[in-house]
Amino acid sequence: MSPKITTELLKQLRQVMKNPKYVQEPVQAYIVPSGDAHQSEYIAPCDCRRAFISGFDGSAGTAIVTEQHAAMWTDGRYFLQAAHQMDNNWTLMKMGLKDTPTQEDWLVSVLPEGSKVGVDPFIIPADQWKRMSKALRSAGHDLVPVKENLIDTIWTDCPQRPCKPLITLDLSYTGVSWRDKIIALRSKMAERKVLWFVVTALDEVAWLFNLRGSDVEYNPVFFAYAVIGMNTIRLFIDGERMMDPAVREHLQLDSTLEPEFKIQVMPYGSILSELQAVGAGLSPKEKVWLSDKASYALSEAIPKAHRYLTPYTPICIVKAVKNTSETEGMRRAHVKDAVALCELFNWLEKEVVPKGTVTEIIAADKAEEFRSQQKDFVELSFATISSTGPNGAIIHYKPVPETNRTLSVNEIYLLDSGAQYKDGTTDVTRTMHFGTPSAYEKECFTYVLKGHIAVSAAIFPNGTKGHLLDSFARSALWDCGLDYLHGTGHGVGSFLNVHEGPCGISYKTFADEPLEAGMIVSDEPGYYEDGSFGIRIENVVLVIPAETKYNFKNRGSLTFEPLTLVPIQTKMIDVNLLTQKECNWVNDYHQKCREVIGAELERQGRHEALRWLIRETEPLIRMQ
Amino acid sequence: MSPKITTELLKQLRQVMKNPKYVQEPVQAYIVPSGDAHQSEYIAPCDCRRAFISGFDGSAGTAIVTEQHAAMWTDGRYFLQAAHQMDNNWTLMKMGLKDTPTQEDWLVSVLPEGSKVGVDPFIIPADQWKRMSKALRSAGHDLVPVKENLIDTIWTDCPQRPCKPLITLDLSYTGVSWRDKIIALRSKMAERKVLWFVVTALDEVAWLFNLRGSDVEYNPVFFAYAVIGMNTIRLFIDGERMMDPAVREHLQLDSTLEPEFKIQVMPYGSILSELQAVGAGLSPKEKVWLSDKASYALSEAIPKAHRYLTPYTPICIVKAVKNTSETEGMRRAHVKDAVALCELFNWLEKEVVPKGTVTEIIAADKAEEFRSQQKDFVELSFATISSTGPNGAIIHYKPVPETNRTLSVNEIYLLDSGAQYKDGTTDVTRTMHFGTPSAYEKECFTYVLKGHIAVSAAIFPNGTKGHLLDSFARSALWDCGLDYLHGTGHGVGSFLNVHEGPCGISYKTFADEPLEAGMIVSDEPGYYEDGSFGIRIENVVLVIPAETKYNFKNRGSLTFEPLTLVPIQTKMIDVNLLTQKECNWVNDYHQKCREVIGAELERQGRHEALRWLIRETEPLIRMQ
């Protein structure tokens, strides 16, 4: 992978930073955040402004360009990738390391007195604006909104914003109609005494209306906003897709409805002016509810006294707790996904060992091919991480021709992949060796497995926040001086974004919402040795009630049920490092894989993959 | 314990809340925080205003009185005690439970429109003022400073502010002279480009000048402030104690010194006006450093643009990392403390079992008696928690004649106690049974012990924050549906406050500073069954470097070394619930108690206690 040469682009950007056509006054620094106007993690090509200016295309990162410097903040998952993709014009700021300055501190240290720092007000979330604006102001600088996006002004071949057809989801998938979701939302609004709720996150719009799209790769969402009043529903969305009879029928656009359920469809681009009109028409004490991650521009459309900002919206919290239709759908999706992976791993064993002709890209394509054979397959849920040997240490690696390695019997292979099915979203990582792993590789793998089990089998009180479980995943690694520089788990949507809030398992956050039965998260500890190998073991797990011997203060307890049912390679396990309890966990898990996935492989007539599954799920035996 | 009758007092308070002599405009609510003007946790009798108005005298709690209501917020340690000590005028707000409103939310829900909420600006920390003021303002109310403390106006027999003699500590105790501490502080100030630092916490003043006092029971501090400039040192302190030749010599008050080390002694009461003068004399960009927990009154003395507020002061962070003289002192103090407890437990066994004449108060007094026989004993480090049977479930119980139970062979006895020695501060909890514990009691005790060991033996990367270790202490309890409603550990001072920041081990905080070698914290999981018993096992532990097999990113690892060396009653342990590793930990710990404390008991000629120690440290044997 050679870095993008950005010298000329940075020169152009520095020119427009002073160009009165775009800025009222010259800005001495310009911030290019990761997200789009909806603060999405995964974004459409037209929104990949940070990647355009820097070359670094990982899913998280913020670029800041000043007259002298260009710096990129990203987290541990992307240190290697960012270093590879960016040229010498850029300084990599490794977030989470002790000596790395915050963006604010760095700006203060490099800017001349009384500087202006520009940012697109549609891209920066309101809470970040507030924090950064305050820090800059207290150092004598100013954060200023630059209406026209300065990257767009120099991005001559910027792609069009996508506007693809919609998919309607019926009750068998969603469990709740959009009408009932609106009713529930309005009752939450009434509880908080707000009159309006502004839906800005793309997955929240999709969830609320039981619609899906494909405007953003991997995430089945579409560009739209919604503004829900106590008696009105406004959906801001572009394109012919609203002419689709199935969509019109689904949204009952042509039916005679009670007025409070009548959806007014408006142009996507009119959200700001419509919201300003709402803001201008409010009586004293009337409030409008927005996420504090909504863009600064939309947040400012509502006068401050009328703004009701929360870190998590009511939709975000309800969406995270899956209902029975959704969990059953997720179960089905994971069974199909496991079938595809059994086929893949069986195929890999046959191809890699004798022939040595399978590359990372071929393996990734083959995984997609097997998945696409399954019912209700829509697309992948993220770019497949198919990595062997040293590439495995690049945590969010994606094989490209320049880096593409051939799988061999000498290196560890790490596959982190998932798909969108109409009934659910999957995300699974398995780490395999097709030859004979070294004692050290097995040792590291076993520590990671112990961490995976420690989280998966954890029992914890109702109301526990996920971040309190993060250390369980690390304890075995810590004991021998090892660790990994990413969180342990993220929320997973139901045929929606593979990363969703408000829950997760990470040392990095304190603002996660308590875990509840019905939430779905990933459990994915790892260990990475730069230049050598990467190990990660990831299941998607469902939060379920746990039976315990006692019940302190009648709080009840929770635990996890793995939805992912794909064998964990026993060849990589040093059984002597497992406790009897851990050994039993692996055997029980493999027994369930055999039963559930075995039955489905049988049903689909995939006999060779079934034999692979049976072989891979032989019980471990631990010597005392 | 009968509750304090507060009807008349509340009536008087509500009158002064409207009295123009004290308030410019009537206040509809008045907040009575826990602390004093230094935001101390332990306070002098004259500062016990919240206890005076409500009857509840636990170490943490905030009272709010409105025209109609009186409510008290406190945490899980004090739910039972507060409920016992307060009459029906008061509503107990159980912090940490899901349905308990915050003070702000509650105020907003009960206050009439446009209310004024009063508070003493010297008592409320600046950060709390800010948060509360903002929340109230956004609901249309006002937080207003009431200069004269309204409790003081109705507290006719309020005791005098204490002003006791000082103790000077030489280098053999402190390791660093006050002069060198000032030099180090000024270099931190220069790093942050601040010209002044205001020392408001009493333990920080004491630590900085290597002085100790006894103005506050249990905490060897004295009422004082300090303002440190780059060339000046001002100490605000009252009384004849500054006439003591030892103190004058220690502070070199009568020597010819370089002017930047010359200490100007000023009256305690002049801090506000002096600070206002400092604030008024600042040039643009000149900054004054204060803790954001400093009082609103002092914080406001510095114009906002000149204020540099941080959650932890440089003194707080340096003070937490003990130097060799301090850790050696802490070790000596813990050896002496263990000798006293071996004597006590031996004595209890002789008295309780055959005679049954020992009450909680007698046991507490006896513990103090044995401690006072040890070299350099100064006082207790907190009110001894000597509790048997159901009293043990009151987490911060202190025996009083009305509640005093007799120790028996039928109930669990919990003793949480500690002392101030000139060389260190101790804090230890042991839970004992003098008869035959039930299987259930042993089971619960063993889960608590497993949690204690999980923290004490944990190995974790350098830079880990203590809150990430909290769940280790709970895991064994969680597994069977149990838990405890308090944090797992707090920082411990070196002949200073038994609770100190900035580190600790608790699920409740995210703002703790990373653990470093040399820091000292407690490790004290527990289990409490209301109405039945309480179990807690507490050691004070020192953070030390850990040897590990590998060393990821060269970060280095840490672990804990127990400073407390007092046997953990093996009779209470269900050995079959321990892993072999846990069993070895107990045996190794007891071996060390035998060696270190045994030698000291021998040296002090305490042969009977030595025999008790030998008996109590017999190795556990675990059946496979």
pLDDT tops 90 at residue B96: no
Q: Where are the beta strands (DSSP E) in B446-493?
A: 460-461, 489-491
Whether A623 and chain B come into contact, CB under 8 Å, resolves to no
The pLDDT, as a whole number, for residue B306 is 96
| Residue recorded with tokens 């991997």 | A218
Q: How many CA atoms lie within 13 A of A142 on its CB side?
A: 9
* DSSP-assigned beta bridge partners for residue B523: B539
| Contact at CB, A98 and B579, closer than 8 angstroms | no
| Rounded CA separation A64/B461 (Å) | 31
* DSSP-assigned beta bridge partners for residue B379: B420
For the stretch A565-609, pLDDT in tens is: 999 999 999 999 999 999 999 999 999 999 999 999 999 999 999
| Contact at CB, B478 and A469, closer than 8 angstroms | no
Please state the rounded mean pLDDT for residues B198-224: 97
Contacts (Cβ under 8 Å, ≥6 apart) of B92: B71, B72, B74, B79, B82, B83, B86
Listing DSSP states for B289-311 in one string gives EEETTSBHHHHHHS-GGGEEEES
pLDDT averaged over chain B?
96
pLDDT tops 90 at residue A511: no
The pLDDT, as a whole number, for residue B405 is 96
Whether B56 and chain A come into contact, CB under 8 Å, resolves to no
Kindly indicate the confidence band of residue A239, based on its pLDDT and cuts at 50, 70 and 90: confident
Could you tell me the pTM of the whole model?
0.92
CB B79 within 8 A of CB B55: no
Least confident span in A347-351, B108-112, B510-514, B535-539? B510-514
For the stretch A521-555, pLDDT in tens is: 999 999 999 999 999 999 999 999 999 999 999 99
pLDDT tops 80 at residue B149: yes
Please state the rounded mean pLDDT for residues A202-214: 98
Q: Which amino acid is at A446?
A: T
User: What are the tokens at A112?
Assistant: 């001349």
The pLDDT, as a whole number, for residue B624 is 61
| Rounded CA separation B559/A478 (Å) | 10
Quick check: helix, strand or coil at residue A409? coil
Intrachain domains B6-154 and B167-317 with the same fold: yes
Q: Which amino acid is at B544?
A: I
Kindly indicate the confidence band of residue B373, based on its pLDDT and cuts at 50, 70 and 90: very high
Whether B506 and chain A come into contact, CB under 8 Å, resolves to no
Per-residue CA distances from B350 to A307, B346, B356, B357, B370 (Å)? 69, 6, 10, 11, 15
pLDDT tops 80 at residue B130: yes
Strand duo A385-388 + A412-417: pairing: antiparallel
What is the interface pTM, i.e. ipTM, of the complex? 0.91
Q: How many CA atoms lie within 13 A of A183 on its CB side?
A: 6
- CATH superfamily ID and name for B321-616: Creatinase/methionine aminopeptidase superfamily (3.90.230.10)
pLDDT tops 80 at residue A509: no
Q: Where are the domains of chain A?
A: 6-154, 167-317, 321-616
Whether A288 and chain B come into contact, CB under 8 Å, resolves to no
Which position has the higher pLDDT, B2 or A213? A213
| Rounded CA separation A105/A111 (Å) | 10
Other beta carbons within 10 Å of B171: 11
| Rounded CA separation A442/A577 (Å) | 10
The pLDDT, as a whole number, for residue B436 is 97
Nearest CA in chain B to A286: B139
Quick check: helix, strand or coil at residue A311? coil
| Rounded CA separation B412/B532 (Å) | 9
Strand duo B520-523 + A224-229: pairing: unpaired
Other beta carbons within 10 Å of B109: 9
CB A553 within 8 A of CB A426: no
Name the residue among B149, B150, B62, B141 with its Cα closest to residue B107.
B141
| Rounded CA separation B522/B560 (Å) | 10
Distance from CA of B550 to the nearest CA of A (A): 5
Q: What is the 3-state secondary structure (H, E, C) of A326-369?
A: HHHHHHHHHHHHHHHHHHHHHHHHHHHHHHCCCEHHHHHHHHHH
Kindly indicate the confidence band of residue B595, based on its pLDDT and cuts at 50, 70 and 90: very high
Contacts (Cβ under 8 Å, ≥6 apart) of A444: A482, A527, A529, A535
- pLDDT > 70 in chain A, percent: 100
- For Cα atoms B160, B162, B164, give the angle at the middle one, nearest 5 degrees: 150
| Rounded CA separation A477/B609 (Å) | 42
Please state the rounded mean pLDDT for residues A321-342: 98
Nearest CA in chain B to A464: B507
pLDDT tops 70 at residue B43: yes
- pLDDT > 70 in chain B, percent: 100
Name the residue among B33, B13, B29 with its Cα closest to residue B116.
B29
Q: Where are the beta strands (DSSP E) in B550-616?
A: 557-562
Q: Which amino acid is at B433?
A: H
CA A82 to chain centre: 18
Whether A59 and chain B come into contact, CB under 8 Å, resolves to no
Q: Which residues of chain B lie closer than 8 angstroms to A550, CB-CB?
A: 480-482
Strand duo B211-212 + B196-199: pairing: unpaired
Give the mutation candidate from B141, B552, B555, B582 for the A interface (greatest A CB count, under 10 A): B552
Please state the rounded mean pLDDT for residues A82-86: 95
The pLDDT, as a whole number, for residue A517 is 98
Please state the rounded mean pLDDT for residues A608-613: 98
For the stretch A481-506, pLDDT in tens is: 999 999 999 999 999 999 999 999 99
| Rounded CA separation B550/B597 (Å) | 34
The pLDDT, as a whole number, for residue A1 is 61
Other beta carbons within 10 Å of B459: 18
Other beta carbons within 10 Å of B7: 9
Distance from CA of A322 to the nearest CA of B (A): 22
CA B607 to chain centre: 35
Kindly indicate the confidence band of residue B80, based on its pLDDT and cuts at 50, 70 and 90: confident
| Rounded CA separation A6/B197 (Å) | 45
| 3.20.20.140, 3.40.350.10, 3.30.450.20, 3.40.30.10: CATH of A167-317 | 3.40.350.10
pLDDT tops 90 at residue A41: no
Name the residue among A131, A100, A126, A132 with its Cα closest to residue A30.
A132
The pLDDT, as a whole number, for residue B1 is 61
Q: Please tell me the CATH code under which domain A6-154 is placed.
A: 3.40.350.10
